[in-house]
Amino acid sequence: MINRLSTVLECSRVFALPMTIMAWFVAFTYAVSVSGNVNFGLIALLGLALVHLSANILDDYFDYKTLIKQVNYDKQEYLKNSQKTKCRLLVLGYIKEKELLIIAAIYLAIAGSIGLFFYLKCGVGVIYYTIIGGIIAIFYSFLSKLRLSELAIALAYGPALFGGVYYVMTKTYSWEVFLLSVPTMLVTVILLYIHTIMDFKFDLNEGHKTIANSFKSQKDALVILKWLLILAYTTPLLLCIFDVLDWQVCLVWVTIPLAKDLYKSLELFAENPDSIPEHKWYHFPMENMRNAPSFMIRMYQSRNLTIYYSLILALAIVLALN
Give Cα separations from 162 to 22, 28, 42, 58, 277 (angstroms). 11, 8, 14, 23, 34
Average pLDDT rounded to a whole number, residues 19-26: 95
pLDDT tier for residue 239 given thresholds of 50, 70 and 90? very high
pLDDT tier for residue 28 given thresholds of 50, 70 and 90? very high
Q: Which of 153-167, 175-189, 200-214 has the lowest mean pLDDT?
A: 200-214
Give the pLDDT confidence of 250-268 residue by residue, as tens digits.
999 999 999 999 999 999 9
The C-alpha atoms of residue 126 and residue 171 are separated, in whole angstroms, by 9
Give the pLDDT confidence of 274-286 residue by residue, as tens digits.
888 887 777 777 7
Q: What is the pLDDT of residue 203?
A: 76
The C-alpha atoms of residue 278 and residue 223 are separated, in whole angstroms, by 22
The C-alpha atoms of residue 37 and residue 221 are separated, in whole angstroms, by 43
SS3 track for 284-311: CCCCCCCCCHHHHHHHHHHHHHHHHHHH
pLDDT tier for residue 189 given thresholds of 50, 70 and 90? very high
pLDDT above 70: percentage of residues in the chain: 89
Mean pLDDT of the chain: 87
Average pLDDT rounded to a whole number, residues 221-247: 95
Question: Above 80 in pLDDT, residue 88?
Answer: no
The pTM assigned to this predicted structure is 0.89
Question: Above 60 in pLDDT, residue 84?
Answer: no
Q: What is the pLDDT of residue 293?
A: 81
Contacts of 39 by beta carbon, 8 Å cutoff, 6+ apart: none
